[in-house]
Amino acid sequence: MPSRERYVVGVDGGSQSTKVVIYDSRGTPVAEGRVPLEPASRPQPGIVEHPDDDLWHSLAGASREAMSAFRGDPRDIVAVGLCTIRCCKAFLRRDGSLARPVMSWMDTRAYQPWLPEDADVAWATTSSGYLTHRLTGAFRDTAANSIALQWPIDVDRWQWSEDAGVLRQFNLRREQLFELVPPGSVAGNVTEDAARATGLPAGIPVVVTANDKAVEALGTGSLDERTALISLGTYIAAMLHGGRNRPEARAFWTNFSCIPRRYLYESHGIRRGMWTLTWFMDLLGPEFAAAAAARGVSREAVLEEEARQVPAGSDGLVTVLDWLAPTDQPFRKGVMLGFDARHTRGHCFRSILEAIALSMKGHVDAMAAELGISLREVVLSGGGAGSALGMQVFADVFGIPASRARGPAGASLGAAVCAAVAAGLHPDFATAVARMERPRETFAPDPVAAATYERLERELYRDVRRFTDQVLQRSWPIFH
């Protein structure tokens, strides 16, 4: 008599929505729920917060949707893997309730030794720490979601620093910090209150993961030290697995992996990366959206169809991506250079895609050079990987194969992998990834387009900001 199937839940808390997917032991999704986040609150420049208790409400709503769609026996769900947005900060009262809204990763205070002037604040934690507490009642967090820029973490030990001076630099006391546990650990069990809110079975283990980029890397099966994962989301970054902390690196920084005692080397990235395409589509107005809907297709599909007719290089239209300026260079803005009468909205769309790929090519090349490696492949994940044109542009710009998972992957599957290992469905991470990851679809570079992009990158793009910065620095005092 065959054994009963067992299921795990993967929670993917992103910048735009929370997705909850129920997977079987082979990584096949069987039910899903998704609830968008509310628009961020921006009461003044530099302050960006998640309104109300939005992170928890979206998680609870998405979980209820997934459980409503689940046709199996809830008693066969053996664990929940939790992944949330990184770089957020939450300040809690003694009982674990929010003392104020959760800070977004875009909030400048999140990178400063800032604490609210509120005597009720007893805890400071990450988004994963807060949501772990909401699910389990425990004051525990994954060690792999504490960024050294924001928290007094000892990156080599995967624990809080024991140096009192380091704690003072962050304006924190040890008793304000949650207990840290490795990714893949059980932090606690779903409480009765959390079960009523989420629909998840009470008592099942909640397994912590890592920061969202690391969980996404695990979910795409990216474990090879010569395969770069490029996460195409609101923030775009590239990652390579490695075996040690490299604090001396200049072209990348060392992040925690979703696998205990392993690391991810993360390149410089693009702020508001794929958001730039949404911004452009919004500029085209409601009439464009209505026309696409009347055809029964998305806005992206219409523009991708038009952009496919545009040659590599967009007939000389070059986009420079700085729609959200770095804090140390606030004068930077987005730039589109080289318009003439040939250019259409399809050119603009393709030019933004090319700018994303060219920008990441520069960042990834710098990281690979410092590591002394050459890449075999790039794997793309996130919403942007759904574009076949975008995949081809990446293959052509990088000059090597670009792959994406066939079917659901990314952070929800990575969280499910962690849950499956913790629950004993698979003996280790490598086995779980091999058995649960989705097959990949690969795009080979086109030699003619690749040659065009190689020349564009070498002769123009790699130092274009040296010229645009001069103009933007002059305009900054006028318009700031």
444 within 8 A of 233, measured Cβ to Cβ: no
240 within 8 A of 164, measured Cβ to Cβ: no
Residue 228's H or E segment, with its range, is: strand 227-231
- Rounded to whole angstroms, how far apart are CA atoms 192 and 135? 9
Instruction: List beta partners, residue 265.
Output: 240, 254
At 246 the three-state DSSP class reads coil
Per the rule left: phi > 0, alpha: psi between -120 and 50, beta: everything else, 296 is: left
- Rounded to whole angstroms, how far apart are CA atoms 83 and 65? 18
At 167 the three-state DSSP class reads helix
- Going by C-alpha positions, the residue among 312, 80, 28 that lies closest to residue 209 is 80
160 within 8 A of 140, measured Cβ to Cβ: no
Q: What local confidence, expressed as pLDDT, does residue 408 receive? A: 63
User: From first to last of its 480 residues, what are the pLDDT tens digits of the chain?
Assistant: 457 899 999 999 988 899 999 999 999 999 999 999 999 999 998 899 999 999 999 999 999 999 999 999 999 999 999 999 999 999 999 999 999 999 999 899 999 999 998 889 999 999 999 999 999 999 999 999 999 999 999 999 999 999 999 999 999 999 999 999 999 999 999 999 999 999 999 999 999 999 888 898 888 876 678 899 998 988 899 999 998 999 999 999 999 999 998 999 999 999 888 999 999 999 999 999 999 999 999 999 999 999 999 999 999 999 999 888 887 899 999 999 999 999 999 999 999 999 999 999 999 999 999 999 999 999 998 878 889 999 999 999 999 999 998 766 688 999 999 999 999 999 999 899 989 987 889 999 999 999 999 999 999 999 999 999 999 999 999 988
Q: Which two tokens stand for residue 438?
A: 């989705």
Half-sphere exposure of 110 (CA within 13 A, CB side): 23
Q: What local confidence, expressed as pLDDT, does residue 222 receive? A: 67
- Going by C-alpha positions, the residue among 383, 284, 398 that lies closest to residue 36 is 383
- Rounded to whole angstroms, how far apart are CA atoms 288 and 410? 31
- Rounded to whole angstroms, how far apart are CA atoms 125 and 146? 9
- How many angstroms separate the most distant Cα atoms in the chain? 77
- Rounded to whole angstroms, how far apart are CA atoms 417 and 208? 11
Interhelix angle 388-398/299-307, nearest 10 degrees: 40
DSSP 311: P
Rg (CA), the chain: 22
At 304, give phi and psi (nearest 5°). -65, -40
Q: What local confidence, expressed as pLDDT, does residue 195 receive? A: 98
- Going by C-alpha positions, the residue among 60, 412, 422 that lies closest to residue 216 is 412
Count of CB atoms situated within 10 Å of the CB of 286? 8
Strands 205-211 and 29-36: unpaired
- Going by C-alpha positions, the residue among 40, 389, 456 that lies closest to residue 232 is 389
Q: What local confidence, expressed as pLDDT, does residue 1 receive? A: 44
Interhelix angle 54-69/127-136, nearest 10 degrees: 60
Domains of the chain in start order, with CATH, are 7-215+410-430 (3.30.420.40), 222-408+446-480 (3.30.420.40)
351 within 8 A of 389, measured Cβ to Cβ: no
- Rounded to whole angstroms, how far apart are CA atoms 421 and 138? 21
Locus of tokens 């081809």: 392
Strands 102-103 and 47-50: antiparallel
CA-angle at 422, arms to 82 and 380, nearest 5° = 55
Per the rule left: phi > 0, alpha: psi between -120 and 50, beta: everything else, 446 is: beta
Q: Which two tokens stand for residue 295?
A: 């055809």
Count of CB atoms situated within 10 Å of the CB of 243? 10
